[in-house]
Amino acid sequence: MWKSFHQFASPPHFYRLAGYLIPWFGVAALILILVGTYGGLVLAPADYQQGDGFRIIYVHVPSATMSLAAYTLMATAAGIGLIWRIKLAHAVAAAAAPIGASFTFLALATGSLWGKPMWGTWWAWDARLTSELILLFLFLGYMSLRAANDDTGKADRASGLLAVVGVVNVPIIHYSVEWWNSLHQGATIIKLGEPAITGDMLWPLLTMMVGFGCYFATVLMIRARSQVLQRERNSRWLKDL
């Protein structure tokens, strides 16, 4: 177990494994997102309250879910990098940041496009919306801390610390709709009991979520490979590429 863990954390091994996995995850992401989009826009029935406007859920919820997943992964990787001094973990964390920031931006923007017709406002300083905006600032802060440090080791430590401290925001975002009186609706899928959504509407959503997950994995591995190339630019194994 320990041996295989170290082997996985070796940059050449990771670089090759990721190179092999990227096309598979990429194709899976493409198929799932296309099927989910068709299901969400065409096959799912209109909502009895929101009509066709509810279809924004099919891009909003996967984006918001992936923004939290990306942050959790980034913070975990940064924590592993800080504690065990594994450079590959910092490389993965750094690779996750721009994708996570994009998902957070999408969650906010599509939420705004959904809020305008349903709530009558583009934005409100509400617990869910505000904590998600803070998530965007955490991603951007992490990225600018890295950009401001030319020394990769220093950049890893400074940005990694921010990522780990900022993880308290993740449960705040998730439970914000329960803890505070929120304009935002409550949980639909991840809650006790049955999901509050019919199967016709649910399967395209789950398909989109898995598709977004595969997309995230694809871009994460491409970016992590770029990170490895930059960090290992003096290593001999690169000659065999």
Partner 1 sequence: MLSDFLHMGGYAGYVWGSFGLTAAVLLINLVGAKRQFKQRLAFVRRRMAAEDKT
3 versus 233: smaller Cβ distance to partner 1: 233
Nearer to partner 1, 1 or 42 (CB): 42
* Nearest approach, Cβ of residue 98 and partner 1 (Å): 7
- Give the binding site for partner 1 (CB under 8 A): 37, 41-42, 46, 51-53, 55-56, 58-60, 63, 98-99, 102, 105-106, 109-110, 113-114, 116-117, 215, 218-219, 222-223, 225-226, 229-230, 233, 238-239, 241
Residue 126 CB, nearest approach to partner 1 (Å): 19
Closest separation in Å from C-beta 214 to partner 1: 12
Nearer to partner 1 (CB atom), residue 82 or residue 96: 96
Q: How far apart are the first and last CA of the chain?
A: 28
Place of tokens 């001094």: 85
Distance, CA of 80 to chain centre: 18
CB of residue 100 to partner 1, shortest distance in Å: 11
Among 69, 80, 78, which residue's Cα sits nearest to residue 146?
78
In this structure, how many other beta carbons lie within 10 angstroms of the beta carbon of residue 6? Answer: 11
> 70 exposed, middle or buried (CB, 10 Å; 0-12, 13-18, 19+)?
buried
What Cα–Cα distance (Å) separates residue 221 from each residue in 23, 49, 215? 10, 41, 10
Q: How far apart are CA 100 and CA 74, in angstroms?
A: 9
Extract long-range pairs of 73-76: CB within 8 Å, 24+ residues apart: 73/220, 74/100, 74/139, 74/142, 74/163, 75/163, 75/164, 75/166, 75/167, 75/170
Q: Report the residue number, 63 or 164, with the smaller CB distance to partner 1.
A: 63
- Alpha-carbon span 218 to 223, nearest angstrom: 9
Q: Are 164 and 79 in contact (CB under 8 A)?
A: yes
Task: Please state the closest distance from residue 120 (CB atom) to partner 1, in A.
Answer: 13
Is residue 65 a contact partner of residue 212, using CB atoms and an 8 Å limit?
yes
Q: Closer CB to partner 1, residue 67 or residue 176?
A: 67
Nearer to partner 1 by C-beta: 61 or 170? 61
Q: Which is nearer to partner 1, 92 or 219 (CB)?
A: 219
